[in-house]
Amino acid sequence: VEDGSSILRHWSKNKQIYYESKSELYAVDTDSGESKKITDFAAKSITAQSISISPDEQNLAFTTIDGNQYNLWTMKTGEQTTKKLFTAESEIRNTVWHPDNRRIFFNQAVDGIFQIFVTDAAAPPRQISTAERDVFVLNVSSDGTKVLS
């Protein structure tokens, strides 16, 4: 995809490559090369960022900005109902799913420095890094024990 705004998000075991482009999530079938739009945030006037798909491809996580509020959301793939997990006054970005398909890692600015947090629908976010410089979550090991930053 050559639109200049595409970001690789996930390469699934089901031969799908997911990418974010212009606030939407798309999938490319590696066999056919066909691309399909997974989300339709524009229809709900949502400007989504940091869109990620769970390893089982059943759920999405994404962030939005509403004035001075940063929000972390989830939704089921193929549905339009969203669920807000968390709101903060400091920037939230870089959503990455844990292999358990429940937990979500993300970055949030703490005193101007991006730290790594983890959350799920049943618990409030928990800060797991205390770096002196920005640290960004990029991926999680397949067994869920290590975070690539």
| Cβ atoms 128, 95 nearer than 8 A | no
| CA dist list (Å): 52 to 82, 129, 131 | 14, 21, 24
Tokens of 144: 């869920």
Tokens of 135: 């640290």
Contacts of 141 (CB under 8 A, 6+ apart): 99, 147, 148
Phi–psi pair at 85, nearest 5 degrees: -95, -30
Q: Of 119, 109, 115, 121, whose CA–CA distance to 137 is shortest?
A: 115
pLDDT at 54: 94
The Cα–Cα gap between 46 and 64 comes to 8
Three-state DSSP class for residue 123: strand
The Cα–Cα gap between 12 and 4 comes to 23
Q: Which of 5-14, 20-29, 57-66, 101-110 has the lowest mean pLDDT?
A: 5-14
pLDDT bucket at 14, cuts 50 / 70 / 90? confident
pLDDT of residue 68 exceeding 60 = yes
The per-residue pLDDT for range 33-56, each reduced to its tens digit, is 999 999 999 998 999 999 999 999
The Cα–Cα gap between 48 and 25 comes to 9
pTM of the model: 0.89
Q: Which of 9-18, 58-67, 106-115 has the lowest mean pLDDT?
A: 9-18
pLDDT at 4: 61
The per-residue pLDDT for range 85-137, each reduced to its tens digit, is 999 999 999 999 999 999 999 999 999 999 999 998 788 999 999 999 999 99
pLDDT of residue 66 exceeding 60 = yes
pLDDT at 2: 58
